[in-house]
Amino acid sequence: MADEFVKGLGIFTSAGLIWMILAGWYNTPSFEEVQLVQPNPANLGAYGAAAIVLKETMFWFAITGVLTFWVLIPAVRRGRQVLESR
């Protein structure tokens, strides 16, 4: 179980860090306003658009990775143990 916890923590930490860096670059117009959650800027070039796609991908990868390793895999293993004990 500790192995799944560490994998989920690694995914959450690394994907969350990448998301925060990209959100800080593209979604923080000034430090006096709300940060990291402003709308995506318009008129971006190819690299900016790719960075926005990467930012959204890292957000969802962090969420699904944590849920997979912290909830889904342990639940499946526990379900198998219950079925085998019957």
pLDDT in tens, 30-64: 888 888 888 888 889 999 999 999 999 999 999 99
What does the CA dihedral 62, 64, 69, 75 come to, rounded to 10 degrees?
150
What's the pLDDT score for residue 70? 94
Q: How confident is the model at residue 16 (pLDDT cuts 50, 70, 90)?
A: very high
The per-type count for the chain, helices as H runs and strands as E runs, is 3, 0
Q: How far apart are CA 19 and CA 50, in angstroms?
A: 13
The Cα 33–Cα 5 span in angstroms is: 36
